[in-house]
Amino acid sequence: MASTRAIAQEAEGQPLLGNPDLPQPAGQRMRWAIVGLGTFGVGQVIPGFDGARHSRITAFVSGNPEKARELGERYGVSRLYNYDNFDRIADDDEIDCVYNVLPVGLHAEYTIRALDAGKHVLCEKPMASTSAECEAMIAAAKRNNRTLGVAYRVHFEPNNVHVLDRVRNGDLGAMRFISADHGFNANPDFPPHKWRLDKVLGGGGSMYDIGVYGLNTSLMMLPDDTPVAVSAYDSTPAGDPRFTEVEGALDWRVRMASGITVQGSSSYCWNPYVSRQRYFGSDGSIEMNPATTYYDNRINAEIGGAARAYTAGNAASQFAAQVDGFSQAARKGEAHRTPGEMGLRDIRLIEAMYASAAAGGQIVEV
């Protein structure tokens, strides 16, 4: 017994093996305000904080006071703001970070206002409606010495991260081609779809909302490559009343500096919902189908003559991982894994795609 006690005494004060990422006490976590309590914010973002280790919600911002109060009671959040008194968050020491979950057309305004209020900001994708707005958001972050990120959650989703690791490790050999297809059938009577068909609120079309997943995820798999040119064609079902302001679908292609291409499509008129990524290399290929959903992403690999279908982790964990990644970056004063500059890059590419489509598919250098 004495020898057992001696061993235990010698172990006192030793570090935890493996240095696990233990949850921080609530009082030490970065404190977040959620701006925009729509379907995505309420259904995905807010519940995602339940699994967070370094982040907690301390405030809600909404134009619907009844909804804000109800959610505040449900999640123990007492700080409630609206869009008229939003700038008062500057005086609230219980807010460190802001998650901007508003429609795209409002991203730039409320991101800049939050940065000017001295808060770090994670802005939902796409970053903004125009590259000029993105540049203004980045300038505001630098002016206020705050961290700015774009919520490209796929960079934190375990199945996509696993595929990225396989690409980096050379399991597919040299990358040869990537394709990406993302779309759904927009229902104008469903509020979360209705604003997407409004060009001002939705940013400008399907590529801004659903197609950006394919573009950003594809480029994630090519970290050492650079886009040099794009081309695109748009298409809209004749007489479809949904598409008076935005196109029905966009087919696009990105030429990379390495000589390979990334090809994709985005749509508001497909049924059923499509979320598919395909990666082709000299030694194998991987298809993810679904690829970028909230809860159910799957991997189909054909490498070395062997085929395997599997999952590499719980897709739902991406929401907690994303906010924790941002919290840690903001606390350390470091760039987020998906910074504002990445969002600007993607919007510039999307703008070039629409310019190409308007010119009948003409190649646009970027």
φ and ψ at residue 85, rounded to 5 degrees: -105, 20
Active-site choice (81, 99, 110, 213): 213
Residue indicated by tokens 């490790």: 169
d(CA 196, CA 355): 20
Q: What tokens appear for 328 in the block?
A: 């840690």
Extract the tokens encoding 182. 């993302």
Give the Cα separation of 319 and 43 in Å (integer): 11
Query: What proportions of the chain, in percent to the nearest 5, are helix, strand and coil?
Result: 40, 25, 35
CA-closest candidate to residue 154, choices 56, 220, 97, 227: 220
Q: Is 125 a catalytic residue?
A: yes
Give kind and range of the element (H or E) at residue 220.
Answer: helix 212-220
Indicate if 213 belongs to the active site.
Answer: yes
For residue 14, give the DSSP letter.
P
What does DSSP assign to residue 157? -
Task: Give the sign of the dihedral formed by CA 245, CA 185, CA 190, CA 47.
Answer: negative
User: Which amino acid is present at 306?
Assistant: A
Q: How far apart are alpha carbons 164 and 158 in whole angstroms?
A: 10
* Tokens describing residue 346: 């993607």
* Catalytic residue selected from 81, 110, 125, 279: 125
Nearest alpha-carbon partner for 291 in 194, 141, 178: 178
Q: Is the peptide bond before 23 cis (omega within 30 degrees of 0)?
A: no
Catalytic machinery residues: 125, 213
